[in-house]
Every structure is written in structure tokens, then in C-alpha cells.
Amino acid sequence: MSGAARPALRSAGGVTVIGGGAVSQADLAEALEAAPLLVAADGGADRALALGRMPDLVIGDLDSLTPEARRLIAADRILHVAEQDSTDFAKCLQRIEAPFVIAVGFTGLRLDHTLAALTVMAGHRACPVLLLASDDVVFLAPPVLRLPLGAGTRVSLYPMGPVRGSSAGLEWPIDGIEMAPGGRVGTSNRATGEVTLRSEGPLLVMLPRDSLSVALSALGLPGAAIAGL
């Protein structure tokens, strides 16, 4: 848990968090297969209902939740967090106690919302968070990460602050490179086989969208078996 917020939901398995951005039925189904509990970030509840799924919990300042969604969702499933100092995504993560979170619906519409979600992920240390986008799965690199990838697989690395590290199995190694958002970044790198990364600092890893199970396994998460490994 981060900050002073108390858990509103505890789970022994993964939790899916849905936002109000672009998310397909297939995206939601894949996320829920690995992380079966569903938390909606404010207006993400409307997105969940439109996809035929009732959220287990809604968390946010509720400025985007429609009256229709309020009518359909039981009052005890809605948690109003009035403060405006954090995003609804952050409010959700601060109140979830789980081994990991899969986030859907935080890309594809407003770029500022996507950037805010990535910023929240970069600062969240309570549990791993994996964000699913149309073409990517994104997560914060742990200090040591081993990825069993095939040669030619795209591996994009994006620093969210000063980052240094070393690598094996990348076409363009990161050894000795000082990375930073306004300096060197590591987008569109490629695997030559299994990749090992060692890094210090907030480094986002972006893999092809079909790599969710690989990412879960590399992070040692229980949803890996459910996701097809």
C-alpha cells in the first residue's frame, strides 16, 4: 500500500482495473482470465457495463460515472474518494492489496490520461502493474528481469527518471548508457534471444501485446499459469 489510504479490496490473486479509455471485449476477457476481480476507475464502470461485466468495486472521485451506471451498481460497490490530488487510477491502486494488477482502458483516447497512468505506474511499488494497450503490454522493470523472448521481438525501454543498467540479449545493449526522459531512451530495441535486464531507476518495459503471459511469468506472478503458460 502507498500513502495513508486503507485497502478497500484485498485479493490473494490478481486484480483487473478498468478505465474509461479504449478496451475491447477480448482485452477485458484476457485480463480477467489472469486477474479475475474487476475494479473500475470512476467512469471505467460504464466501460465495464458496456462490455457486459459488473465491476466488483468502483473507486474514484465519481465525476465521470454516469447516472445510469450509478443506478445499475449497488451502492456498497461504489467508493467515493473526493480528493483531487491524485488520478482515479492512483486512487484505485492505493486501495487494492493484491499480488499484481492488470490495467485496461487507460490508452486509446486522451493522451494526457495515458501519460498520467504511466506516471502512476512508474511510482507504484506496492505490487507489479501491467498495462495492456492495443499494441503493447507495459510494466515497470524490477532490478533484475529475465524475459524468454524469441529473436526479433520488440523490446522498448522508456525511462521515467534517471536510469542506468546493463543488458544481455538485446541487439543494442544498454550497458554504460545514462537514460532519462529528456535524454537517451531505449525504444524499438530488439531481442536476440532471452533478454536479461539489470537496472536502477524507474524503467518502463514495453513488449508486444501478445506477450502478457511472458511478462507475468518473468515477474513471477501467479496469473502466469492462468494466462496460458
Cα 31 from chain centroid?
Answer: 11
Question: Which pLDDT belongs to residue 4?
Answer: 63
Sorted by where each begins, the domain ranges of the chain are: 9-134, 144-206
* CATH superfamily membership of 144-206: Thiamin pyrophosphokinase, thiamin-binding domain (2.60.120.320)
| Spans in the chain with pLDDT lower than 70 | 1-4, 223-229
- What letter does residue 142 receive in the DSSP assignment? P
Class of domain 9-134: alpha beta
State the pTM of this model: 0.93
Cβ 201 vs Cβ 177: under 8 Å: no
Query: What pLDDT was estimated at residue 228?
Result: 36
The pLDDT of residue 227 is 42
Instruction: Give the pLDDT score at 109.
Output: 85
pLDDT score, position 122: 95
- What is the pLDDT at residue 6? 87
